[in-house]
Structure 1
Amino acid sequence: MIVKNTYGTSVAFTTKMFGVVPKDEFSGSALQRKKKEADKKTVKPKTKKREGDKKLHSLSNRSKQKIRKKITCFARCYKRLSFVTLTFLNKVEDEQAITILRKFLDNVKKRSTDFQYVWVVERQEKNAEFIGNVHFHIITNKYWKIEKWWNYWLDLQIKNGIKPRDENYKPTSAFDVKQMTSSNIKSIASYVTKYVTKNNAKFKCQVWNCSRRVSELYTDFYTTTEFTDQFKRLGAVLKEFEVKDHGKRPFLNIKMINLNRQTLPLYKRLDEKNKINNTSRTKTI
């Protein structure tokens, strides 16, 4: 049995069912992506889109899982993180909102050192004035000077056609920042669960993205079952279940692990891999 591990979850599978043992101990990093030669040679024909025919995007279960992993590994690389919520002064279309967000992030990059982030789009449900309006949640390693960036966010909207309901309308909630201690992994997980895993809305824009170095973080590592036996001895397995095939034969065994002071050190190899990679990438930028 081969076990694929990430923070809080271990999945054991048979090589008979899924093929050979992975060549690399670590996985989940954008650094591992390699374009196939066939993709380079083959040019896909362009299809004409009918006017008004817009493709809707949503967060798939696979994307939600990926975001959870990236944010957890991101948090393990920095002592402090910020949770930023960006909302709009007035009704905004999805496409316009994403354009303004990109301009905002580009400006932050120019004026910050080592600015890393993950953002996710969400629809407003509680704001009766702009029901269904998009807003953005960003987890970042940046320390924000609230007054400066709050005013910039409001001015940027106005310059891009989002006018406030009246000229004196400057809601402080439009740029909301909460500090997060990355050592509290359960706190990070609660934010992710609240704003990512329950997000099933559809959008006419990209639904999430992250900075390059966050995309390059490794999120998983492979071991034998001896690794997960340690969690059993510590009494840290919160839940365990099997996934069976059509013949009712189990081919996956999934363990949900309690993340605490005893179990987190067991993920040290993933922490060290990302810290080494993070340091080397910083020097080359």
Structure 2
Amino acid sequence: MIVKNTYGTSVAFSTSQFGRVPKHEFVGSALLRPKQKPNQKKQKSKSSAKKKDEIKLRSLSKRSKQKIRKKITCFARCYKRLSFVTLTFLNKVSDEQAVNLLRKFLDNAKKRSADFEYVWVAERQDKNSEFKGNVHFHIITNKYWKIEKWWNYWIDLQLKNGINPREKGFKPSSAFDVKQLNSNNIRSIASYVTKYVTKNSAKFKCQVWNCSRRVSELYTDFYTTTEFTAQFERLNAVIKQFEVKDKKSPVINVKMINLNRQTLPMYKRLDDKNKAI
């Protein structure tokens, strides 16, 4: 048996049933993606040009939600504090226009911060009756924000790009909202991710989520033998255990681990690998 581990979850499976032993101890990083050949890139650009006029609705798949949760957790393990930023718009915007402004905002932040890393996710507004269904963005980042400065910039960026408020001169304070997250508290990070990502089943005419290059390069999982999870059992840290059965794949065993002062040090190998990045 071999076990695939990430913070709080361990999945054991038989290598004989799956037919191969993993090549790498650490996985989940963009660094492990095979590089495209030049001719493949040309072919891809031609096919994408043909589909340029087609409207493709995008949504977060179950796999994407899991990936986002893992990336944010690993991101949080690399920094003592993170910021949770919400960007909303002054008026109704199209998805394409919204994501274009988000990119401009992030590009400006990159220029002014030497070490600026982030993960962003799109969400539909459901509480604002005036702009119901309007897209807004949640960003988890390692940046400290001077709120008045960046609030003014976000408002001005919208005005310069033709997004005007319903009432002249109206500048809602909620347009740029920042909350500080204590990255030492994995549960608080997980609660934010669950609240704003897991429930997100809306469809968009734009990219639904993205992250900075170095966040994409973070490793999210590592392989061990069953001796690793046996340590959690000895500590009575296994919250839940169950088997997953499927007609097309073999049985796998899943253990949900309680993350606390005793168990978090056991993920040091993953912490060290990512801090080196």
- Which TM-score applies when normalising by structure 2? 0.95
Other structure's SS at 1:190 match? helix
Whole-Å Cα distance in 2 between the matches of residues 254 and 38 of structure 1?
41
Partner in structure 2 of residue 22 of structure 1: 22
Q: Residue 117 of structure 1 corresponds to which residue in structure 2?
A: 118
Q: Distance in 2 between matches of 1:115 and 1:42?
A: 31
Aligned positions of 1:54-203 closer than 5 A: 54-203=55-204
**One-letter amino acid of the structure 1 residue matched with residue 65 of structure 2:** K
Structure 1 portions without partners, runs of 5+? 278-285
Residues in 1 aligned to 2:100 and 2:41: alpha-carbon distance in whole angstroms: 31
Pair 1:254 & 2:218 matched = no
Q: Distance in 2 between matches of 1:77 and 1:117?
A: 12
Kindly report the root-mean-square deviation, in angstroms, between the aligned alpha carbons of the 2 structures: 1.8
User: Identical aligned pairs, as a percentage?
Assistant: 77
Q: Is the 8 A contact 2:17 2:250 kept in 1?
A: no
**CA 1:230–1:160 in 2, change beyond 3 Å: closer, same or farther?**
same
AA at the equivalent of 1:132? G
**CA separation in 1, counterparts of 2:8 and 2:203?**
29
- Count of aligned pairs between the two proteins: 275
Residues 28-39 of structure 1 mapped to structure 2, 5 A cutoff: 28-35=28-35
Q: Sort the Cα spacing of 1:267 and 1:39 in 2 relative to 1 into closer, same or farther, 3 A.
A: farther
Deviates more, 1:42-51 or 1:124-133: 42-51
Letter in 1 for 2:87: L
C-alpha contact 1:242 1:250 (8 A) present in aligned 2: no
The 8 Å contact of residues 59 and 199 in structure 1, kept in 2 or not, is answered as yes
Question: How far apart, in 2, do the equivalents of 1:239 and 1:27 lie?
Answer: 24
How far did 1:227 drift?
Answer: 0.3
SS at match of 1:43: helix
| Cα shift at 1:17 | 1.9
Q: TM-score, normalising length from structure 1?
A: 0.92
**Secondary structure in 1 matching 2:251:** strand
Q: Which runs of 5+ in 2 are unaligned?
A: none
- 1:13 corresponds to which residue? 13
> Match of 2:2?
2
Greater displacement, 60-69 / 237-246: 237-246
- Write the deviation string for residues 205-246 of structure 1: whole angstroms up to 9, x where unpaired: 000000000001010000000000111111111111111233
Q: Does the aligned pair in 1 maintain the 2:18–2:250 contact within 8 Å?
A: no
Find the residue that maps to 1:85 and give its secondary structure.
strand
- The CA deviation string for residues 136-188 of structure 1, in whole angstroms up to 9 with x for no partner, is 00000000000000000000001111101112211000000000110000000
1:26–1:49 Cα change, 3 Å: closer
